[in-house]
Amino acid sequence: MSPEPVSSRPWLTLVGIGEDGRAGLSPAAGAALDAAECVYGGRRHFALAGPLAAEARIWPSPIADAYPGILARRGRPTCILATGDPFHYGIGAEIARLVPADELRVFAQPSAFSLACARLGWAVAETGCLTLHGRALPNLIPHLQPGARLLVLSWDGATPAAVAALLTERGFGASTLTVLEAMGGARERRRSARADTFDLQAIDPLNTLAVAVAAAPDARVVPLAPGLDDAWFENDGQLTKSDIRAVTLAALRPRAGQVLWDIGAGAGSISIEWMLRRPGLRAFAVEANPARAARIRRNAAHLGVPGLVVVEGAAPDALDGLERPDAVFIGGGVTAAGLLERALATLPSGGRLVSNVVTLEGETVLLAAFARHGGGLKRLTVAKADPVGHLHGWRSAMPVTQWTWVKP
C-alpha cells in the first residue's frame, strides 16, 4: 500500500481557546497543541495556553505577513491559537482559503455569540450576530430595526460607548445595551445601561455588546424595501428619485455576492441601496464631480454602507482597473464616447446593464442600443398630487427612459 500523500494528512491544527485557558480544552485539542512544533497566536492566547514547549510565534501586523511562514511549514505539525470558534468572525475562514480542508484539524470552542446568548437567554437563530472588530461603526445602521436583538463583537473597550452614542443620535436611545466582558473566565462581568444614559466605565477590551433595539417614533430606521425617501440623501438635485430608484433596483436584480458599477453616481443612491439589499453586496460609485463624490461618501456612511467604494473620475477612463462587475447602472454620462460599449464588453455572460435617461440625446443612445442589442425598453412616468389653489391636481415629473439588457 502506497503511503498517504502529504497533501491529504492534516498538519495544521486550529485550536479555539476561551478565557478558561487550557482547562477548557478537550483532551484531543490539548494533545494537538502539545504535539505542535510551532504555534501561532496572539499574546493573550499564549498567556491562556501556556506553558508551551513549541516555538511560539506572535501574530505580526498585518497578520497576513505570517501566512507565507505558515505555508512553508506544510507537512510539519503546526498549530494556530484562536479565540472561541475560529470560523465565526475568526481567522479560520482566511486560513481555509490558503490550506485545503483535508490538511486542517479544527477544535472549536463556543463562540462569543453562543456564550452571550446562553447568558441572556436569547436564541442564536433569532439574533443578529455582527462584528465591529476592524470595521466601521456605521455598518451597524442597517441592522437597527425596532425590536431587533443584536450581538456585536467590540473592537475595544470604547466600542460600547460609541454604539450608545450612535443609537441615541438616530433615535434609538431607549435601547438596552448589555456589555458582556471576558466571558468564560474568572474576570467575567455583565452590566447593562440604556443607550441615552450610557455611563459604564473601565470596560474590558475583550467584550461583546448585546443590543435590545428600541426605536422612538421618529427614529431613523432604514427600511428593508428599496426606494428610500429622497430626503435621506444629501444631494444637489442629481439624484435618482425614490419611485424610479425602486424600479431600477428591481431591474438590476441584485444577487448575493455581486458587484455593481454605478456610473455617473450623483448622490450615490443606486449603489447605496444596492448594498443595503444584502450584506456582502459590493459597489463602485463612479463620479467625476469631486463635490458629489464627497457627498456620496457622506451618504454611504449615514445610511450604513461605509464600504461603498467611490471612484472619483470621468468614465470610461475611470473604470480602468476596477473589479469586473456583475451589473452596471448608468445614470449619467451615457452619451460619453465609448462608455456604453465599454460597459457592455466588460459584463460577463448573464450580467445585467440598466441605464436611465431623461434627455433626448441620452434617449437617442439607448434607442440605438435597443435596436442593435435588444433587451427591454420602458418609459417611466410618475405624477404626484400637488396643490392647485385650494384643490389638488397631478404634477408629472420628467419621464425616464430605461433600457435593460442581459448579456448572452
Phi, psi dihedrals of residue 41, rounded to the nearest 5° = 175, 180
What average pLDDT score do residues 33-49 get?
A: 95
Instruction: Take residue 109 and report the three cell numbers written for it.
Output: 470552542
Q: Any idea which residue has 442597517 for its cell?
A: 142
In whole angstroms, what is the distance from residue 228 CA to residue 369 CA? 30
- Would you give the distance in Å from CA 255 to the centre of its chain? 14
Confidence of residue 3 (pLDDT cuts 50, 70, 90): very low
- Complete domains list, the chain, with CATH: 6-109 (3.40.1010.10), 113-212 (3.30.950.10), 230-406 (3.40.50.150)
pLDDT of residue 9: 87
pLDDT of residue 155: 95
pLDDT digits (tens, 9 = 90+) for 350-403: 999 999 999 999 999 999 999 999 999 999 999 999 999 999 999 999 999 999
pLDDT digits (tens, 9 = 90+) for 288-347: 999 999 999 999 999 999 999 999 999 999 999 999 999 999 998 999 999 999 999 999
Question: Does the pLDDT of residue 4 top 50, yes or no?
Answer: no
pLDDT of residue 1: 41
Question: Does the pLDDT of residue 7 top 90, yes or no?
Answer: no
pLDDT digits (tens, 9 = 90+) for 111-144: 999 999 999 999 999 999 999 998 999 999 999 9
Mean pLDDT of the chain: 95
* DSSP state letters, 115-128: HHHHHHT--GGGSE
pLDDT of residue 227: 96
Question: Does the pLDDT of residue 183 top 80, yes or no?
Answer: yes
List strands edge to edge, sheet with 128-131.
Answer: 128-131, 149-153, 207-212, 176-181, 189-194
Question: Does the pLDDT of residue 2 top 50, yes or no?
Answer: no
pTM for the predicted model, two decimal places: 0.90
Q: What angle do CA 264, 268, 274 make, to 5 degrees?
A: 110
Phi, psi dihedrals of residue 125, rounded to the nearest 5° = -65, -20
Q: Are 248 and 329 in contact (CB under 8 A)?
A: yes
Q: Any idea which residue has 436583538 for its cell?
A: 149
Closest Cα partner for 296 from 328, 275, 271, 317? 271
